[in-house]
Amino acid sequence: MKIWNAMRKKGLQAAALFLVLVLSLGLFACADPLQPTEEEAQTVMTIGDMDVSYGFYRALVLSCRDRMAKDPAVWEDPDQAAEMEEKIREEVLQALQNFYAVFALCEEYDIEIDDGYIMDQVDQTLQSQMDQFEDTDAYLESLEKEYLNHSTNRLMQQQSVCSSTLYYTMLQGGAFETDPDALRELIHSDAFIRVKQILVVGEQSTLADDGSFFTPPEQHTNEEAKHLAERARERYLTGEDFDKLVEQYGESLYMTGNTDGYYICRGMWDDVNEEAAFGLVVDEVSTVIESDQGYSVFLRCEKEEDYINAHFDELCQNYYEASYSLALEETSASLTVKTTELYDSIDIKNLQ
């Protein structure tokens, strides 16, 4: 799993090997291999009042480049190469703002991000990771495959622990609605909707928002996937059953055999699919919606009381997590970004 997926799932198993020999008092002394090099420690930008190291930025750029520019031909045309570089820079910057939003929101809730309790959990996690390897070199070599170093691994573990701490602090502190009666009313309102989805995957990612893998019977080009989604929609409009069309055309593991569909609130999905779904009225079908997941056709359905009763706790949990996600999005959007000269000098195409 690449670092990009690791960041979206708030999990991490990676970093890079750096041994620096320095001459001191006539002897060669070996620096701590777990410490970043001077180059890695340089500041690429500040987000809010937090410095972003070159080592962290490099890891995200290389992971993003692997995902977005697998075909070397993308760099052959100057205009196309410039466009790709800009896309990578923008996506990495957004990921960094989202990452540091956790630390910024912690400050608002008086959570010390380097508190002893938090850092003890970080150290325990890191030690558990390192114990899986024969020695430090093997640990670092495994992390190098993800373009990381130990200090970046430590930072990401710190953010993960802080995120969990922040979530429960907000939940227990009344940042989200927790009264059962109020939540039941909210679930019955238009704040929650029920939708079914026919998803056809083209050349996009293979991991869905819910964490499930797509199950395409064959690889489609984007054009083929869009055509299949359009065909499924046309057949529904001529009177065919949507659930049967899901089974015939759909390629999301979550929707396989699922006639309940999704019960969602704002903050659970990506913006494109969320806007499409919430823009529907009951019994309305969407046009074909293109997103990072593929090509989707959504049908909004009436909510069912029996489902709500049977899944009430799960729906409440979804609401808490979505509310937390929206709070982080708001904080992320508010963070100021200032880049350094080092940032401007980085060549995305040739970065190693």
Enumerate the domain spans of the chain: 3-175+329-345, 180-310
Predicted local confidence at residue 32, as pLDDT:
78
pLDDT digits (tens, 9 = 90+) for 252-285: 888 989 999 999 999 999 999 999 999 999 999 9
175 confidence band (pLDDT: 50, 70, 90): very high
pLDDT digits (tens, 9 = 90+) for 26-55: 333 446 789 999 999 999 999 999 999 999
Name the DSSP letter for residue 75.
G
Query: Mean pLDDT across the stretch 174-196?
Result: 96
Whole-structure pTM value: 0.85
CATH 1.10.4030 fits 3-175+329-345, yes or no: yes
Residue type for 99, please?
F
Q: Is 331 exposed, middle or buried (0-12, 13-18, 19+ CB in 10 A)?
A: buried
72 confidence band (pLDDT: 50, 70, 90): confident
Is 74 a residue whose pLDDT tops 70? yes
Predicted local confidence at residue 23, as pLDDT:
30
As assigned by CATH, the class of the 180-310 domain is alpha beta
Query: Which tokens in the block code for residue 15?
Result: 């970093």
Predicted local confidence at residue 1, as pLDDT:
42
Query: Comparing 3-175+329-345 with 180-310, is the CATH topology the same?
Result: no
pLDDT digits (tens, 9 = 90+) for 292-331: 888 999 999 999 999 999 999 999 999 999 999 999 999 9
Query: Mean pLDDT across the stretch 135-148?
Result: 94
Q: How open is the CA angle 175-319-284, to the nearest 5 degrees?
A: 135
Predicted local confidence at residue 256, as pLDDT:
87
